[in-house]
Amino acid sequence: MKELTEVLKDWEAVIGLEIHTELTTLETKMFCGCKLSHDDAPNTNVCPVCLGLPGALPVPNRRAIESIVKAGLATNCQIQKRSMFYRKHYFYPDMAKNFQTTQGPVAFCMHGRLDLEVTGRGAAERPACAFGADQAESLASASANAEGLSRQMVEGLPEQASGALAGMAAYNTADLAVAERHDDGSYTVPIRILRIHMEEDAAKMVHVGGQEGRIGGAAESLVDYNRCGTPLIELVTEPDLRTPEEARLFMEKLRRIFLTIGISDCSMEKGSMRCDGNVSIRRRGETGLGTKTELKNLNSFKALHDGLAYEICRQAEVLEEGGVIYQETRHWEPSRKRTVVMRVKETTDDYRLFPDPDLAPFNLSDEFIEHCRAELPELPDAKRDRFEADFGIKRADAEQLAGDPDTAAFFEQAAEGLSGKAAQTVANLVVNELAAYLKGAGASLAQSGIVPAQVASLAKLLAEDAISSNQAHEVFEAMAQSGEDPEAIVDARGMRQVSDTGALQPIVDEVLAACADQAQQYRDGNQKVIGFLVGQCMKASRGTGNPKLFNELLRASLS
């Protein structure tokens, strides 16, 4: 197959995401009082309601409704005061009652938007021809022609006339914001959110013997109903994404927001956050849409990116060879780096949707919505901008720090009263050394025992050139394992650098005398040899000399 960048020059990918997030920070399920847990023995947290036994009546979880309203406010959605639950029928062992309770055409949250900043190599996925005025037409035609559950529900159900659904069937191209490209090759792109709706999660299926956990080839399948009934919100984007990188960045950004507002642990490894990617391709300049396929249950950012990239290239190859793309659900196999068919995609008719007679319509009050708004913390984008402005650190580091509430609070304490280079040194330690240590140790920040004062102390040693960056790594490891203060570690190990010119100049003279050939190479224009000479100086000083000062003294002596 062709490479993705080559394919996207001739073909436009139209991508929409459906992102499912379990509200794991709640204590009970969506419609009953059963405990939420991923770790208890199978089928121990169940009751007549989540098992769908006859006569059992659901009772909505108020805190779950608060969570989805917060999610909508944090993603710039319009909160719908009136909405209702529907029954979505399907027949599979993971839902004992044979229907899923979900929302209808009007969800709690409608018509939101998130802006993405795409930089570096990821920005190169979108070719230069994918910018400009034509993009408004592209977005409008994709939205107008998109086929999916939401649109079919609007067309087939009586709530079609609701004001909340205005504009879903047609778009004014003059009102659509498009990707804005910057001089450095990066760009900002707005991604519209169609809806965020509430539903209940299904049970967990364990396919024993199946390859990569799939049912194909399994000897038997087991069902754990502990997860059944877990409050789940599903965010559906408009088909505004055009590259796998944009899809990955959108999901990363959404995860940071949901972590910040505290509605989920967003663990993709445990399945509390997962994504379905819908993708079709069309020749650039066309307004009709190609046939889409759906990649199901992508459980990592890499899987989302690589699965979409493969599927775009696969569809292009099929079409260029005169083949046909079928609407189907496909599975991404990371080990084989390919997608395979799972099943033919269901339609709304298959689900037989109708309002749930056991659940009354919701009428959210202004007071309820404002209560949710008041509980929202500072969101990641605002925190990133504040870190960049107040501390003077790099935007990329500010974004990474702001994305996790615990890490952000840790950085603020460690960098208190600092700005510019001093604050950037703290940011570097948190983003690089601390993150790497926690990943290697498999521990959370709270479990590590590392405190902000220790990182602030280590940053001070670096700022004063008391230790080198290589030594800082060694000190950080020792600090993390022993809990000692970095100052004490440096002094106990004799690591403090010598930054006295008078003490280092004789060493420079000695090295230049012993390395006359390399010295002459430098004078002849070989700048790279300076690294070798600095290394010889460090060796001669037994690692105690300041490498930056050695570099300066060498250049001065050789000039």
The pLDDT tens digits for 430-459 are: 999 999 999 999 899 999 999 999 999 999
Residue 516 has pLDDT above 90, yes or no: no
Give the C-alpha separation, 215 to 213, whole Å: 7
pLDDT in tens, 14-59: 999 999 999 999 999 999 999 998 789 999 999 999 999 999 999 9
The greatest distance separating any two alpha carbons of the chain, rounded to the nearest whole angstrom, comes to 94
Mean pLDDT of 351-362: 92
Which pLDDT band holds residue 174 (cuts at 50, 70, 90)? low
Tokens of 86: 């529907």
Specify the pTM.
Answer: 0.87
pLDDT of residue 465: 80
pLDDT in tens, 233-279: 999 999 999 999 999 999 999 999 999 999 999 999 888 999 999 99
Which pLDDT band holds residue 160 (cuts at 50, 70, 90)? very low
pLDDT of residue 170: 44
Which pLDDT band holds residue 168 (cuts at 50, 70, 90)? very low
The rounded mean pLDDT for the chain is: 90
pLDDT over 70 percentage in the chain: 93
**DSSP per-residue letters across 384-407:** HHHHHHHH---HHHHHHHHTSHHH
The string over 95-107, giving b where at least 16 C-beta atoms fall within 10 Å of a residue's C-beta and e elsewhere, is bbbebbbbbbbbb
Residue 306 has pLDDT above 60, yes or no: yes
Mean pLDDT of 147-169: 51
Give the C-alpha separation, 446 to 476, whole Å: 16
Summarize the chain as % helix, strand, coil (round to 5). 45, 20, 35
Mean pLDDT of 408-416: 96
Tokens of 151: 């649109």
Mean pLDDT of 339-347: 78
Residue 150 has pLDDT above 70, yes or no: no
Give the SS3 label for residue 124.
coil
Which residues does residue 339 pair with via DSSP β-bridges, in sequence order? 332
Given a contact cutoff of 8 angstroms between Cβ atoms, the answer to whether 108 and 197 are in contact is yes
Give the C-alpha separation, 20 to 196, whole Å: 10
Give the C-alpha separation, 279 to 292, whole Å: 5
What DSSP element (H or E) covers 354? strand 354-355
Q: How many CA atoms lie within 13 A of 487 on its CB side?
A: 6
